[in-house]
Amino acid sequence: MADLALGQAKQQGRSTFCLYGGEWREERDHRIQLEHGLLRAINRNELYLVYQPKLDTATMSVVGVEALVRWQHPHLGELGPGSFVPLAEKGGLIWPLTEWVLKEACRQAAQWYRNEALDLNVAVNMSPTVFAHEELEQAIEAALHDSGLPPDRLTLEITEQSLMVYEAEAVGVLERLQRMGINVQIDDFGTGYSSLSSLKHYHFQALKIDKSFVSDVVTSSEDAAIATTIMFMSKCLDMEAIAEGVENEAQKDFLASIDCRLMQGFYFARPMLPSEMSRFISRLTPAKPGE
């Protein structure tokens, strides 16, 4: 999949990559093209969601799925969020994008339940710029109402950045979301600035241990210490911890040894289309005796 950084699309076949003169203009034009395209994409269903399971590795069951947005661009092919979410954040399109993702993720989770008897909690990523948006709670209520999804089947993944940007409003918003029954997890935990103070003010359902700590957890004593500390802290605070970016068995084994049961990563499953989920889950579940 093309997860283009800004301007990378123009890089092909060029030996140099400089940020001035014609190249810069081209990059700006490329950005404008993407910005214009994004509005069209939202309205014309060029966006779609893939879902990555979060597993309880002690039982090998799926405890939820994370919705990750993709863009099937008419000319550039499939784009990952790295190439357009930051643009949407800067260009004022992140709100319509988020509304669309919320709606679609809730619709899909409700459909899984209705059509395939899959009862899955679905997580949606929130950019800092939309967290505490004045219409956030309304948009969530509408997405739940329209789909019929119960609020406790929805999770919001927010970053520590979100809590910093809207420090004053954040606690109130979080409390209201919690009262609605919605789960809130801290994404990329440990990479932001406000980690510890945010934990003091609000009870999150889970902390997601950032994949930058997981990738070298087996070989780096620092990363191992950080992962172990986050585990310990989450336990003391009565929150769950989910390790993200688990890619191999050694990482999984280390995490299990520090009592981290909840994991997400390519080792278990790559993000997949909704139609693939049922098969993935049925393969995980050991057949019951007599079946």
137 binds ligand C2E (CB under 6 A): no
Smallest separation (angstroms) from Mg ion to the CB of 13: 31
Return the range that interacts with ligand C2E (CB under 6 A); candidates 37-45, 57-65, 233-241, 265-273: 265-273
Tell whether the torsion through CA atoms of 28, 34, 40 and 43 is positive or negative: negative
Report the candidate in 154, 144, 101, 159 with the shortest Cα–Cα distance to residue 123.
154
Show Cβ contacts of residue 33 under 8 Å, excluding neighbours closer than 6 positions.
none
160 binds Mg ion (CB under 5 A): no
Nearer to Mg ion, 187 or 223 (CB): 187
Map residue 42 onto helix, strand or coil: helix
Per CB under 5 A, the list member of 83, 98, 121, 125 interacting with Mg ion is 125
34 vs 40: CA distance, rounded Å: 10
Nearer to ligand C2E, 147 or 286 (CB): 147
Distance of CA 243 to the CA centre of its chain: 13
Report the candidate in 168, 163, 158 with the shortest Cα–Cα distance to residue 197.
163
Nearer to ligand C2E, 128 or 236 (CB): 128
Which residue of the chain is nearest ligand C2E when measured via CB?
265
136 vs 95: CA distance, rounded Å: 9
Smallest separation (angstroms) from Mg ion to the CB of 66: 5
Nearer to ligand C2E, 29 or 72 (CB): 72
Smallest separation (angstroms) from ligand C2E to the CB of 67: 6
Smallest separation (angstroms) from Mg ion to the CB of 160: 11
* Residue 180 CB neighbour total at 10 angstroms: 14
Provide the strand spans (E) within 206-274.
206-209, 240-244, 262-264
Residues 226-245 that bind Mg ion (CB under 5 A): 244
186 binds ligand C2E (CB under 6 A): no
**Residues found near ligand C2E in the complex (CB under 6 A):** 3, 52, 68-69, 80-82, 85, 101, 125, 127, 157, 187-188, 211, 244-247, 265-266, 271
